[in-house]
Structure 1
Amino acid sequence: MAIDGMNHFTVLTSNLEQCKAFYIDVLGFTEGYRPPLASSGAWLYAGNQPILHIMAGRPLPAQAQGIIDHMAFTASDLQSVINTLNQHNIKYELRRQKDSQTWQLFCYDPDGAKIELDFSANEPEPKGISNTTL
């Protein structure tokens, strides 16, 4: 067996519209085709690839399932992302990897899922990073 790539993540939400607004308005995903399923939800796309499946309509588990710590996405335009997060009063932490100089930005979705956005080392240092603690 060989793994060829990542297919998608699924997140559970207690509020579908709020969750969609975060991933679409803040992170820039687009909503796309979702097959007719029994549960409510949405499929969010990066380009032509459905990357994030949101499931609603069932209670969030009292205890976290599994051991996944966070979802990481490759991103671009760090300054624009910082501006958008600041506009939405979303707390984040921005780090720079020591060896690669890759920018790493961490934040949380409305239901508490941890998100990592990785930006090229070539991106300029952003301005207005006053909201950098989680």
Structure 2
Amino acid sequence: MLTALDHVNLHTDKPDALAQWYENILGLERGPRPNFSIPGIWLYLNDQPVVHVVEVDQPPEHAAVSLEHFAFRAEGMAAFEATLKQHDLQYERVDLTEIDVDIVQYNLRDPMGTHIHIDF
């Protein structure tokens, strides 16, 4: 039986730039990574490496990827929205109220075009 989502793995030809985006926008932090044969960066949320960035020679073709999005739960919605505005990032805010839940989603894309939503 599954107990949790462990991590997502993203391929990019610009690993440092992608990692910096996740650090600056989502607040993830670089941390230890095993010495794999391919270069990469692990980004941590608290003590869990949740985004694994893998360096590739060519940018991946988005048409070949079936992942539509991944999501994080978060706190501090006003500060997060201020960060998005400070970095002049496009996003869509969706207030989910019609099914008797109190969730606000921020939908945005990382520099590689990966769709992410942050749930408050």
TM-score (norm. length: structure 1)? 0.82
Unaligned runs of 5+ in 1: 120-134
By how many angstroms is 1:65 displaced? 3.4
Does the alignment pair 1:109 with 2:110? yes
- Distance in 2 (alpha carbons) for counterparts of 1:20 and 1:66: 20
**Pairs aligned (count):** 118
Q: C-alpha deviations, 1:56-94, integer Å up to 9, x for none?
A: 133233353342210100111011111111111110001
SS in 2 for 1:64: helix
Matched letter for residue 76 of structure 1: E
- Distance in 2 (alpha carbons) for counterparts of 1:89 and 1:22: 13
Percent identity among equivalent residues?
Answer: 30
Matched letter for residue 13 of structure 2: S
Q: In 1, are the aligned partners of 2:10 and 2:54 still within 8 Å (CA)?
A: yes
- Distance in 2 (alpha carbons) for counterparts of 1:36 and 1:47: 21
Does the alignment pair 1:44 with 2:48? no
- Distance in 1 (alpha carbons) for counterparts of 2:71 and 2:82: 20
Which residue in the other structure is 1:84 paired with? 83
By how many angstroms is 1:13 displaced? 1.6
TM-score (norm. length: structure 2)? 0.91
By how many angstroms is 1:21 displaced? 1.1
Alignment of 1:1-134 (within 5 A): 2-98=1-97, 99-119=100-120
Q: In 1, are the aligned partners of 2:73 and 2:118 still within 8 Å (CA)?
A: yes
SS in 2 for 1:44: strand
Q: Which has the higher helix share?
A: 2
Matched letter for residue 60 of structure 2: P
Q: In 2, are the aligned partners of 1:72 and 1:118 still within 8 Å (CA)?
A: yes
